[in-house]
Each structure stands twice: as structure tokens, then as C-alpha cells.
Amino acid sequence: MEPSFILVGQITRDYLLPPVGQPLLDSPGGNLLYAAGGLGVWDARIGLVSRAGEDYPRQWLKDLQKRGWDISGIRIQPEALDQRNFIAYSDDFEPVRSNPVSQFSQRGIPFPKALLGFHPRADSQPARKVAPASPLLSDIPSEYLDAGALHLCPLELPALQQFLDGLRGALRILTLDPSAGIMTPLTLREVRGLVHGLTAFLPSLEEINALFWGETNDPWDMAATVGEWGCEYVIIKCGERGQLLYDAHNKGRWEIPAYPARLTDPTGAGDAFCGGFLAGYRKQYDPLEGVLCGNVSASLAIEGSGPFHPLEAMQGLAEARLGALREMVRKV
């Protein structure tokens, strides 16, 4: 089955200490897989583009294939890559930035030897070099371009520029979730270049506020400006408050509240939303339908841990939530 949706991003080996439930130690993760979990709620015809070190567990890749996902775009590198990723939360579900050793100690959990020497990556600065584990345009199989719908997960600025320079006009649907590091006033010019020609730009409220720091505090003004840069739709992810949708063509504005789900682990909720948006938008090229599907995907993601949790939902639950959410939309 050829993929109808292409996702581009990173895969990681996660060491996750969630606020609730058991830790996940050396488990599949990364923005790519969380986006795939959100999209897979609605459609399994997914092609994945990423890079993996020669030491990445092959069984994990086989497990992705068993889900019906195409992994021919995941390029195995001839050397080992450091794809470790550590995530921890406080009791009030806030990310913890302190040393991993102290986090394991506080929870009374033995520190994994595999994390020795690990240094968390800083998201606050724009990376000017592409990380070895980040995919490049040349990693996309040529047959993937027939899919017509592609989403770019957060990557370094040079990687995003390469993808967008090569893909504009080649795909009917092209969406981007920016990394926090590129959303600063210092990189506004580069972001303006990135969003030109996008179907949808999907930053968080914190990210778009950081981009327009000192200019305006009104998210609708920010969305309108991004729309003027040549982007069809701007969707601002507002966490527990839901999403704001701006249609640059007709200046339409919608507020969509978050589905009232039980928060267990917020990891990857934004990525799951983006995957769900891509699936929902492609149904009838309706951005509101995309936001609704993304909203439901995120609601399923936060109720458990790991990128595949949304796929374990009871049959019919996603559709039921979608129907309930339609009644909560407010046009501004």
C-alpha cells in the first residue's frame, strides 16, 4: 500500500519519566513517531522519512512496518548515532530541565548506564548545523512525492530550508511545525522565507509569541502577519486551551477548545496534533476539519505515554470525540 501521507522528522531512543505511570527506558520516540501516532488514528497509509544509526534497534523498525507504515524513507547510517533523548516532568506536568541523574535519584529509580555521558540538547538557540540524526531532502524516496501531503516536524533551520526549497510546488499539501530554536526575532527573516508557500504553519502559542517578541501580544495579529507572508492557514497550538485557526484567504478566525481528556503525559501532544491535522485536512481540504482531527489525536496522546498510545484507543472513540468537538467550535 503506497503512502498517502509523508512525515519528516527525527526518531529517538527515549528515556521518559512521565508525571503519572511507569517510566519508559530506551523506548521508541521522537517527533516523527508522535506525529505518526496522531495521524495513524485516522489513516495508516504513512511514509516515514528520518535517519537511524546502525545501532538503532532493527526490531523497532520492523514494528513500524507491522503497523502498515512505509519505512523506506528511514535511512540507516553506516555509523552509530547518539539518538538518546531524556524527558522528565514535575508533579504539575511541567518539563524538568535539571540533570537526569538527579531526576532518577529523586524517583528512587536506578540510573540507566546507557544514559552515562548524556547532555540534553538546548532548544532555545537556532541550530545552524544539521544534526547527524536529522533527515535531508535526499532521503525522501522519489515515489513518496506522489503522496501529495507532507508534514515537516521540528528540525534545524538548514534542514527545513533544504526541504522547503525542494518541495514547494511539488506537493498539494505542505505543513510545518517549527522548532522552538528558530522562533526568535533574530530569525524572523528566515521564518518568513520558510512559511511562504505552506499550506499550514503550526507553531505553539509560546513559539509564535517568541517570534514576535516586542512587536505584538495579539495572537490573531501574529497569525495575520504570517498569512501575509504567503501561508494559507496558521494554526496556533495553545495547550490546554485548544487551538486558534486563521484562514489567510478570507481572514476567517476560529477558536477550538481542547477536548476534555484526562492528562497523564503531555509528551508529543503537539506532534500528534500535527499528524491528525494532516489526515483531517486531506479529507476535504477543510482546515477546520484538520484542526478537529488534530485536537482529537492530541487528546488521545495525552492519556498515556509513548507515541503509539493514540492507536490503542477503543474503536469508535476518536469519531465520538470528533462529533462532540464539532459542537464546541466558536467562530470569532
Residue 296 and residue 283: Cα distance in Å, rounded? 15
DSSP per-residue letters across 139-167: GS-GGGGGS-EEEE-S--HHHHHHHHHHH
The pLDDT tens digits of the residues spanning 108-155 come to 999 999 999 888 766 555 567 899 999 999 999 999 999 999 999 999
- pLDDT bin (cut points 50, 70, 90) of residue 71 is very high
More confident residue, 205 or 102: 205
pLDDT tens across 147-188, in order? 999 999 999 999 999 999 999 989 999 999 999 999 999 999
Query: CATH number, domain at 48?
Result: 3.40.1190.20
pLDDT in tens, 235-282: 999 999 999 999 999 999 999 999 999 999 999 999 999 999 999 999
The dihedral through the CA atoms of 41, 44, 47, 49 has a sign that is positive
* Residue 289 scores a pLDDT above 80: yes
Q: Which grid cell sits at 58?
A: 532493527
For the cut 90, the answer to whether the pLDDT of residue 1 exceeds it is: no
Q: Does the predicted TM-score (pTM) go above 0.95?
A: yes
**DSSP letters for 95-149:** B--S-HHHHHHHTT-PPPGGGTT--PPPSSS---S--TTS--GGGS-GGGGGS-E
Identify any residues that bridge with 174 across adjacent strands, giving them in sequence order: 150
21 backbone φψ class: left, alpha, beta (φ>0; ψ -120 to 50): left
Exposure on the CB side of residue 173, measured as CA atoms within 13 A? 24
Number of domains in the chain: 1
Question: In this structure, what is the dihedral angle of CA atoms 210, 212, 214, 217, given to the nearest 10 degrees?
Answer: -90
Helix (H) or strand (E) holding 252: strand 252-256
Identify the residue whose cell numbers are 489567510: 248
Overall average pLDDT of the 306-315 stretch: 97
Domain containing residue 121:
5-331
With H, G, I as helix, E, B as strand and everything else as coil, classify residue 42.
coil
> Is 203:147 a contact under the CB 8 Å cutoff?
no
Lookup result for grid cell 492528562: 263
Calculate mean pLDDT across residues 14-30.
94
- β-strand partners of 6: 47, 150
pLDDT category of residue 214 using cuts at 50, 70 and 90: very high
Within a 13 Å sphere around the CA of 281, how many CA atoms are in the beta-carbon half? 26
* 82, 38 Cβ separation under 8 angstroms: no
Sequence-ordered strand ranges (E) for 208-248: 233-237, 243-247
Average pLDDT, the chain: 95
Classify residue 129 by burial, with Cβ atoms within 10 Å: 0-12, 13-18, 19+. exposed
Quote the pLDDT of residue 35: 98
